Amino acid sequence: MKVLDSFEQDSLSEYSGDTGKFSIRQDAIDGIIARYYGDNAFVCTSGSLSVVTRTDTTIEPSHSPMSVYIYPSGSSNKRGGLLFGVQENSGIDSLSGYATFIDTSGSIEIKVYDNGSVVNSASTSYIHNDKRFYELIISEWDSTGSITVELRDTSTTNTTASVSLTDDRYSAGGYGIAAEGDNTYFDYIRANIPPQPGETRTYRSPDIRELEGVANPGKKRIENISNIDQIIIDKIDGAEGGGRELSLAESRNDGGRGGLIENAVADVSNLDELEIWVGEYKPYRIPTDLNVDLRAFGRSKSGHITSEAGDSIAGGGSTEVWADGESTFIAAADGGGGSGYNTFGGGGGGAGGEGGLGINGAPDGVDAELIDCNGIRKQCSGGDGGGIDPADGLYPPTGGGQELGIASGGTLTTGGASPGGGEIKITYESSSTTSENPPEAPSNLSVELG
């Protein structure tokens, strides 16, 4: 999935149409911050139906699913929508393309516009709930014109309703936003656009956690690499382990750092899908009575340790790159160990095994190898959690390691990652061969025989 617009830039310069009726803001409404993720959101400031479009990126049927997060504030006849297949930049009066809407009265619609007129449509009902973001998803758009739109309630991650329509009027086009009613907020437009040769993409743990499903921690990002021959792993930063304090400011850098991989290369010419997990960093103590997972997510979750006071400290989750249904391992940076209470800390997640209790400060008579990584030490090389030994003082947590599968070369640094959650930066490349364009033979040669 590619983020087409996160609205983090404070400008509408890339859009055309009814731009005077939209703005980028950081508002707080209904008692919450009206943005799904990040600092900004896109908001309609007009009561009448208005649209903004852009055609600098072409959306095709193969790019579904495509989605946007919508927060329709209030309950009086407000609509928010996503445009696709847009033929040219325009406002609502001359729009040609497809539009899908949710309406606070409780309907989902697909409408086909031709020069500002609706020429085809379909709709269904749903039960609308206020004070939440919905994800409006174009789950299917194929070459025959079959279109299916789904609505997901982000507070439950359940699919609320779906509607379908067949119309083959437009085979490709730009995209945009449509709204009717002020204070309708939008965030994160995404589409299933594969990486292109020469493109560099960066993956961060909050992006995957929030955008791929907050109710399913550890969910992966999948990229179609069927047109890619080689990837350069510019960087894999493993996730930092958590700290002992109760606030981010106090606990920063308290845990062990994740592993670091830089400038490794992998031949992916025979692979079709890249699978990416980015490890989470739980920065400080978490009360165990909250209804949250106490371990940091990644492909392998971290371990965690609970204090006498009922707080939990976790190591960092593992940050890993695989391919084709997890059949091919490419590279991984393990999570750092968490700081500890008493004699243990939460171990970092590693490539191949979840973190358990860290071995640093293991009590007398306990086999350290049976404590680390849930008793499977050989399968996990995440950082060990630290602890506090009453006699000897603090045992600091250790840094995470790193592993290479089919990737090779580069620089590997145990515990060398930056603070915070994991991060992956990958440059996608096609093969550069001379077979398709062989060099021209030199001309005008002379040979001297002696």
Q: How far apart are CA 11 and CA 89, in angstroms?
A: 17
Answer whether residue 221 is part of any domain. yes
Tell the burial category of 352 from Cβ atoms under 10 Å away from its Cβ (0-12, 13-18, 19+): buried
Query: Does residue 437 carry a pLDDT above 50?
Result: no
Tell me, what's the pLDDT at 245? 62
Query: Does residue 317 carry a pLDDT above 80?
Result: yes
Same-domain check for residues 361 and 335? yes
Same-domain check for residues 179 and 253? no
Same-domain check for residues 148 and 206? no
Tell me, what's the pLDDT at 419? 87
Tell me, what's the pLDDT at 379? 34
Tell me, what's the pLDDT at 442? 45
Query: Does residue 386 carry a pLDDT above 70?
Result: no
Q: For residue 114, what are the domain limits?
A: 2-191
Give the end of a domain, one of 129, 160, 191. 191
Same-domain check for residues 232 and 327? yes
pLDDT in tens, 21-63: 888 876 655 545 556 666 677 788 777 888 999 999 999 999 9
Over residues 225-234, mean pLDDT:
96
Tell the burial category of 94 from Cβ atoms under 10 Å away from its Cβ (0-12, 13-18, 19+): middle
Give the end of a domain, one of 173, 191, 209. 191
| Total domains, the chain | 2
Tell me the C-alpha to C-alpha distance, in Å, between residue 413 and each of 60, 163, 254, 321, 416.
42, 51, 19, 17, 5
Q: How far apart are CA 302 and CA 297, in angstroms?
A: 7
Between strands 387-389 and 221-224, the pairing is unpaired
Same-domain check for residues 183 and 226? no
Whether pTM > 0.85 for this model: the answer is: no
Same-domain check for residues 211 and 95? no
Query: Does residue 289 carry a pLDDT above 80?
Result: no
Same-domain check for residues 68 and 154? yes
Strand ranges, E, within 205-294: 221-224, 230-237, 260-267, 273-277, 286-287
Which contiguous run of DSSP H or E holds residue 67? Answer: strand 66-72
- The CATH number given to whatever domain includes residue 64 is 2.60.120.560
Highest mean pLDDT among 5-19, 96-110, 199-213, 383-397: 96-110
Answer whether residue 440 is part of any domain. no
Label residue 341 by pLDDT band (50, 70, 90).
low
Tell me, what's the pLDDT at 233? 97
**Which residue, among 257, 258, 274, has the nearest Cα to 266 in the 3D structure?**
274
Answer whether residue 441 is part of any domain. no
In contact, 172 and 191? CB cutoff 8 Å: no
Range with the poorest average pLDDT among 7-16, 93-102, 242-251, 377-386: 377-386
What b/e sequence results for 215-229 when a residue is b if at least 16 CB atoms lie within 10 Å of its CB, and e otherwise? eebbebbebebeebb
In angstroms and rounded to an integer, the radius of gyration of the C-alpha atoms of the chain is 26
Same-domain check for residues 37 and 85? yes
Side-by-side strand order, sheet with 423-429 = 200-204, 423-429, 230-237, 260-267, 411-413
Same-domain check for residues 162 and 22? yes
Same-domain check for residues 72 and 42? yes
Strand ranges, E, within 241-350: 260-267, 273-277, 286-287, 304-306, 311-314, 319-323, 328-333, 340-341, 344-345
Average predicted confidence (pLDDT) for the chain: 78
Token code pair at residue 234 = 């510019």
Same-domain check for residues 339 and 388? yes
Over residues 384-409, mean pLDDT:
75
Answer whether residue 447 is part of any domain. no
Token code pair at residue 57 = 């990126």
Tell me, what's the pLDDT at 363? 35
Answer whether residue 434 is part of any domain. no
Answer whether residue 443 is part of any domain. no
Answer whether residue 435 is part of any domain. no
Pick left, alpha or beta for residue 327 (phi over 0 → left; psi -120 to 50 → alpha; otherwise beta). alpha
Distance of CA 438 to the CA centre of its chain: 41
DSSP per-residue codes, 372-434 = GGGG-GGG--SPPP-EEETTTEEEPPPPP-EEESS-B-SEEETT-SPSSS-EEEEEEE----S
Query: Does residue 237 carry a pLDDT above 90?
Result: yes
Same-domain check for residues 335 and 409? yes
Tell me, what's the pLDDT at 443? 46
